[in-house]
Amino acid sequence: MALRFWKRKLPDREEKAYKIEVKVEQGVFDKKVLILLDSLFRKKILKSIDYCVSTGKEADVFRGTDFNDNFVAIKIFRTYTGQFHRFDDYWDESMAIKMKKKNSVIDLWCSKEFKVLQLLSDLEIAPQPIYRLQNINVMSFLGENGIPYSLIKDIKEDLDQKTYDAILSSIKKMYVRGIVHSDLSEYNIMYDDNSKKVYFIDFAQAVSNHHRNAEKFLRRDVENINKFFKSINNIEITESDQILKQILELKH
């Protein structure tokens, strides 16, 4: 099977990045993933895989195109990664999708993230879930003109009090919906410079607010956000304990 990759013209300054990208693509596209992608093409979920947006220890994310020529995000969880050793700390039966016994831990991890995105879909603070097949999640693409929105870690100079307040508001909205991100930081929050909206990504570790570790994970999320914004001038930071108290009072 031949994968249909977008043929983009690469300027010289991108050559090194492209070589890294090719290496990543060769690593993530094992036999299982190739078969699954072929199925997504045949089902007309995907028309093409364009390029690698980001790489991680647990998964890689690609921009793709659907048959309506809309951009989508394709997250492929690594089938051979050893990064899921803490799976039990984050597993949440209430967010599980019923699966066959033969499914791997990675498939379960992928299914949990998809379920979380479904639960958050109407809040417009995360990608919209489109389709899941074993260890592959297809989601809406967060970006403009085919270019992903920036992570807040890369645009400190563009952030202000409203950004900080919007992030706290989104954490609270998630909690009311019954979800704690559990891995929130400047590395998984995207920012739309036009609408000034923030979007959370990477929900594989998310848990329900009734999970045994929910409060511990929530505190860590809040402290990570405060630590990052304390490095930016002219932003009034609310103490973590106060934020935590406000959020926990929302539990029902």
* Marked catalytic residue, from 60, 92, 202, 221: 202
Instruction: Quickly tell me which residue has 């590395």 as its tokens.
Output: 187
Which residue in 34, 83, 75, 26 sits closest to 58, CA to CA?
83
Tell me the two tokens of residue 187: 């590395």
* Marked catalytic residue, from 60, 92, 107, 183: 183
Backbone torsion region of residue 146, taken as left when φ is above 0, otherwise alpha when ψ lies between -120 and 50, otherwise beta: left
Interior/surface letters 150-175, b for 16+ CB within 10 angstroms, e for the rest: ebbeeeeeebeeebbebbbebbeebb
The one-letter amino acid code at 45 reads I
* 38 is an active site residue: no
> Using an 8 Å Cβ cutoff, are 221 and 181 in contact?
yes
Give catalytic residue positions. Answer: 183, 202
